[in-house]
Every structure is written in C-alpha cells, then in structure tokens.
Chains A and B, each alone.
Chain A
Amino acid sequence: MLSLSAFTRRFLADPTAIGAFIVVAALVAMAVLAPWIAPHDPYDPLQIDIMDSEMPPSWMPGGEERFLLGTDPQGRGVLSTIMHGTGISLLIGIGAVIVQAFIGVSLGLISGYRGGWIDSFLMRLADIQMSLSTLMLAIISLAVFSAAFGPEAYAQYAIFFLILVIGVAEWPRYARTVRASVLAEKKKEYVDAARIIGLAPRIIMRRHILPNTLTPVLVISTIQVAEAIVTEAALSFLGLGMPVNRPSLGSLIRSGFEFIFSGSWWITLFPAIVLILLILSINLLGDWLRDTLNPKLRRGED
C-alpha cells in the first residue's frame, strides 16, 4: 500500500514521469482553454477567408505572424485547429474509457464473484470480443451507423458514436483485469468476515471487493486512454471518424494528407507531432504508474 507522500516522492524522483506529466498537462490545458486562447476560431465561417488558404508557417517565406503554423486549404489556422482538435481527441479518449471501465468493471465483478456459468459465459463473450479487432468492429459499426442515420445526423452525433463504439469494443480488458483481482480478493478472509455478518453478495462486491480492485483499473486506464485516442485517430484518418467541421487530430492528419506531396506539408505534420507527443506521454505516464503501484517491485526505498 503506497501512501500519498511516498507516491509523490517517487514521482518527483523520476524525470521521465515528471516530463511526461508536464507534456500531458500542457496539452490538456491547451485543449481545455482552446476556446479562449486559440488565436482564431476555426469553425466560425465568418472568421475564415479562403484567401488565406495554404499559407506556410510564420517562419517560412510566405507565412504570416497571425497564422503561426500556417493554414489549411480552407484558410483555417493550423494552430487553432490543433488546439480544438486535441480537445476532441481527449474527449473521445476519456469518454470511451469511461464507458469501457463502467461496463468492464461491472461485468468483471459479477463474473469473478459469482463464478459458475455466469463467469464462463461472460468470459467466453469477452474472448470472442477480444479476438475481433477493435478497429474492424469500429469500422463496421460506424459504417452501419453512418448509413442508417444519414451523413448529416451522423456528423452531428459522431462524437457519441465514437465514444460508444470504442467504449463497447474494449470492455473485455477491464473485465478480465477486474475478474483476476476479484478472484484473488474473494479468497481473503475479510470477505469471509463480511459474509459471516450476513451481508448480501451485492453489498460485499461493491463495498469490500470493488475498492480493492481499483489499483489495476487505474493503471490500465491511462494506457487505454492513449489506445482510444489512437483508435479514433485511425478511424478519422480512414474517414469514419469525426467530420471535417469538427475534426479531431486524426481528421486533421487526414485532411492534410493529400497535400503532403503538393508541398503544404505543415497541414499534416503538426497535428501528427501533437498526436504522437500526446500518446507517448500518456503511455510513459501509464508505464510509470504501473511500475510504481506494483507491490512486487517495491525496493525498500520507502
């Protein structure tokens, strides 16, 4: 069990963790504050001028100061679109993980505590789901949604669809992790003590077992956020994700892709760099968290 002070101490001792945290924090702050600090609103048709299209970054010939990182084919400032886009990517990433965690933890708890045929059934379901690639499932479901609801409705609700699809596709990872924890905790005598008092299984699961399974859930959540962001980026890149008028980082990369060879490389490159930075930092943070919270790696320093 790690106390808060020991946790903080370890954090401050690890430069990688501090660096990753700073990057993530900066990007999140940038995304959250985008409506106020972005130089332009890229989605206000009144603010964009087609005459500004495809301008290079400000330090290159032809660039202007008001568009620090250049503009895209519609005349939107790349910096502004990145700021807003990061917000969308994070929103989808975190939203999807909330859905995954909710479904996965609930099913994992029930599966682990009840055992028997419920456990077998849910775990086989999880196996089947895990053997299907998330990307493939997402592509199929989104294509179906898109066809069923029509492109306008789809564009409007795309963010919810994405959160839902990525969320539902990845629940098995949480379910398995939680189930493993539940199986271990179930054998411990404090659970017996709770049963002896006569507490109902539902209460034991929620009050006693659940809090003790949360450490692994926390660890995988950070990495799952990164996963979800990448998945969404891939989907957007393939054209199935966020629509053009509310792009995420992935859509930005896509919309700039065709211009790589015609010379306007900045439209794709900058969003790609931001995406890579974001994913890398989240992953590093997640790795550090997993190592720190792993009781078996304790080395006698606390």
Chain B
Amino acid sequence: MALLEVRGLEVAFPQGRRAEALALRGVDLDLEPGERLGVVGESGAGKSMLAFAILNLIAAPGRISAGSIAFEGRNLLDLSSDEIRKVRGDRISMIFQDPMMTLNPVLTIGTQMVETLQAHRRIGWDEARKLSIERLAQVAIPSSETRFDSYPHELSGGLRQRVVIAIALLTDPEIIIADEPTTALDVTIQAEIMSLILRLCRENRVGLILITHDLGVVAEATERLMIMCAEKVVEEGPTRAIIDTPDHPYSRGLLAALPQRSERGKPLNQIPGSMPGIADLPGGCAYHPRCERAYAGCHLEAPALEAHGPRRVACFRPLLEKAEA
C-alpha cells in the first residue's frame, strides 16, 4: 500500500445559485515513500487545487465533493480538524510559490520556525532554536545564527524560499507538496533551490509532489509524472518515458511546443485554441476541440484513465500502439 493514495478526488465550486462546477474531476494519485512525482498542467488545469485538496485546505464556497485521500492507511477526509492539523505541517508539508504566503512579515524567521516546531512537538524554546539554526545551515543559508533573528523582508527571494524549505523540513515530514516553488525565481536561483530540494528529499527519504507548468523542471527533478488537462489526469507514468515518447496528444503538444524542441527558423509547433473554463467544458473529452487526432467518438464520451503498459492514458486514440507502450 502506498504512502499516499488518492482516489477519485473531486472538488466542486458553486456556479450561480444552484449549479456547481468541478474544479477537479476525479483524480487518482499514488506516492511511495521517498518517491518524486511531478504534476504538470497549464493554469486552470487543477494542479494547485489538487495540492490544496490533499491537505483539505479548500476554502468555502468550494468543497471536496467526492473521493478519498489515504495517508498511511487513514482517510484524511474522515479526520476531525484537530487530527488533520496534526498531519498538516507535520507529516505533510507544503511549499508555495510565493514565500510571503508562508512567512509572516512581522515576525522574525526564528520565531516562525520555533512556532512551527512547538505546534507539533513538545519542545523547549532553546532546543527549538538550536534545531532551527541547524536546519537553516542545512539549506545553506549563510550566517544562520544571525539570520535566525532576521525578518523576511531582509532576505532576498532566493534566501526566503530556502527558509521556507527549512521550515517545511523542520518536522521531518513524510511528504512535501511543492506548488510552483521556483516559478517566481530567476533561473540560476531556481537551479540552486531545486538541487537543494532534491538533495534533502533524497537524504531524508521524503516524498515529493512537485507541481509546476515547467516540463524542463519535472524532467530534471521527478521520477514519475502526471499530466493534467481540464481538471483531470490525461497521462501518468515514468517521467523519462513520457518526455521521450508521450502517449496522449496533449502531452505531445506540450512537449512539441517548447522552443527546445523546435528547429531554429521554423515556426514552433503550436496547439491551436485555448483551454475552456470549468463552466464551458465541451462534451466528451475536454481536449478534443484542440486535438489533431480527435474523431467522432471523442465528442460523445470522456475517455477514462486506462493502463497502457507502465503508464496510464485517458485517450481513445493514444499515440503509442498498445504493443509498444
């Protein structure tokens, strides 16, 4: 049994007075201890929604309308708010895109780290301080003892994100969910932060769910990959396999559109049209209006995620033959 097993997760938001639209339409996710999973999709595909839903952080008027989230065997959705608080921030940590979402600008970093520790453990202030300073050093923050007393605004963006990572690792969690952790950072800082996250996850055997729109980042950082489109998973499997030989037309479209995959002087391979909003989904497969492989059947029924070799695809006409995949 996997460390984290999500089955059929659905998130609904009210649309007007009576109707509801689904911001997440039945997602399954498995994570083994220490495994690194990438979740890729464009804006509005539902990947952040997935992260928030796992930690039961969906704010009203949204709600989790179906599904289960089994962590170490227990369904997180059945837990009381006290019990889930023991999981959130302690066994499963989260890193956001904007460090200022995690860091309180009016408290020193040290205070926030100690607070986090004391919220989840019985630990005295001095010992918490020592532990925090050690962690700050582990994330390569120079002069960690003095930085302990700094305010967030005194640090640059890259250093702040390191602090956020340190806080996420303070309680030795089993899983870290990182939602676009480096999107707002410069490319050289991104490389630093990502190598740091990967090393720490490897050393401490922490599972990683990395949410991003950047295929290059997941290619470097993850072992398994989930591609989301229109609030559903369309392809899932080993990262290397998907990047080298994508199965779903959308996966191929995304990869082909990258300038890295284009020849100089030739137009980029673009995907026509744009993704519909959650209230305007077409019948059947949500991608079919943009798909070059669509046929009549794609409009009638939405394809389910089915095994196709070591991976799973939701498509009636996937790119790889059954034998090859």
**CB–CB under 8 A between A and B in the complex?**
yes
Q: Is B273 an interface residue (CB 8 A)?
A: no
Residues from chain B with Cβ under 8 Å of A301 in the complex: 14, 16-17
Q: Which of B194-221 contact A (CB under 8 A)?
A: none
Residues from chain A with Cβ under 8 Å of B17 in the complex: 301
Q: Is A300 an interface residue (CB 8 A)?
A: yes
**Per-residue 0/1 for A133-156: is the Cβ within 8 Å of any B Cβ (1 yes, 0 no)?**
000000000000000000000000
CA distance A302 to B15 in the complex (A): 7
Q: Smallest Cβ distance from B19 to chain A, in angstroms?
A: 11
Please report the total number of A residues contacting B with Cβ < 8 Å.
4
Please report the total number of B residues contacting A with Cβ < 8 Å.
7
Residue of A nearest to B23 (CB): A300
CA distance A302 to B17 in the complex (A): 9
Q: Is A299 an interface residue (CB 8 A)?
A: yes
Residues from chain A with Cβ under 8 Å of B61 in the complex: 299-300
Residues from chain A with Cβ under 8 Å of B14 in the complex: 300-301
Q: Is B13 an interface residue (CB 8 A)?
A: yes
Q: Smallest Cβ distance from A6 to chain B, in angstroms?
A: 10
Q: Smallest Cβ distance from A10 to chain B, in angstroms?
A: 11
Main secondary structure of the interface of B (DSSP, over half): loop
CA distance A299 to B62 in the complex (A): 10
Q: Smallest Cβ distance from A218 to chain B, in angstroms?
A: 25
Q: Which of A260-302 contact B (CB under 8 A)?
A: 299-302
CA distance A299 to B61 in the complex (A): 8
Residues from chain B with Cβ under 8 Å of A299 in the complex: 61
Q: Which of B1-27 contact A (CB under 8 A)?
A: 13-17
Residues from chain B with Cβ under 8 Å of A302 in the complex: 16
Residues from chain B with Cβ under 8 Å of A300 in the complex: 13-15, 61-62
CA distance A302 to B61 in the complex (A): 13
**Per-residue 0/1 for A225-256: is the Cβ within 8 Å of any B Cβ (1 yes, 0 no)?**
00000000000000000000000000000000
CA distance A6 to B17 in the complex (A): 12
Q: Smallest Cβ distance from B49 to chain A, in angstroms?
A: 13
Q: Smallest Cβ distance from A56 to chain B, in angstroms?
A: 50
Residues from chain A with Cβ under 8 Å of B62 in the complex: 300
CA distance A300 to B13 in the complex (A): 8
Residues from chain A with Cβ under 8 Å of B16 in the complex: 301-302
Residues from chain A with Cβ under 8 Å of B15 in the complex: 300
Q: Smallest Cβ distance from A7 to chain B, in angstroms?
A: 14
**Per-residue 0/1 for B40-82: is the Cβ within 8 Å of any A Cβ (1 yes, 0 no)?**
0000000000000000000001100000000000000000000
CA distance A299 to B14 in the complex (A): 9
CA distance A302 to B279 in the complex (A): 11
CA distance A301 to B20 in the complex (A): 10
Q: Smallest Cβ distance from A95 to chain B, in angstroms?
A: 41
CA distance A301 to B13 in the complex (A): 9
CA distance A175 to B13 in the complex (A): 40
Q: Smallest Cβ distance from A151 to chain B, in angstroms?
A: 59
CA distance A39 to B52 in the complex (A): 66
Residue of B nearest to A302 (CB): B16
CA distance A300 to B62 in the complex (A): 9
CA distance A300 to B14 in the complex (A): 7
**Per-residue 0/1 for B265-278: is the Cβ within 8 Å of any A Cβ (1 yes, 0 no)?**
00000000000000
CA distance A144 to B310 in the complex (A): 91
Q: Smallest Cβ distance from B18 to chain A, in angstroms?
A: 11
| Most central of A299, A300, A302 by chain B CB within 10 Å | A300
Q: Which of B64-102 contact A (CB under 8 A)?
A: none
CA distance A302 to B14 in the complex (A): 10
Residue of B nearest to A13 (CB): B17
Q: Smallest Cβ distance from B5 to chain A, in angstroms?
A: 30
A-B contact pairs, 5 of them (CB 8 A): A299-B61, A300-B14, A300-B62, A301-B16, A301-B17
* A interface residue numbers (CB < 8 A to B): 299-302
Further pairs besides A300-B15, A301-B14: 8, Cβ < 8 Å: A299-B61, A300-B13, A300-B14, A300-B61, A300-B62, A301-B16, A301-B17, A302-B16
Query: Considering the complex of A and B, which 6 residue pairs feature the smallest CB-CB distances, nearest first?
Result: A300-B13, A300-B61, A299-B61, A301-B16, A300-B14, A301-B14
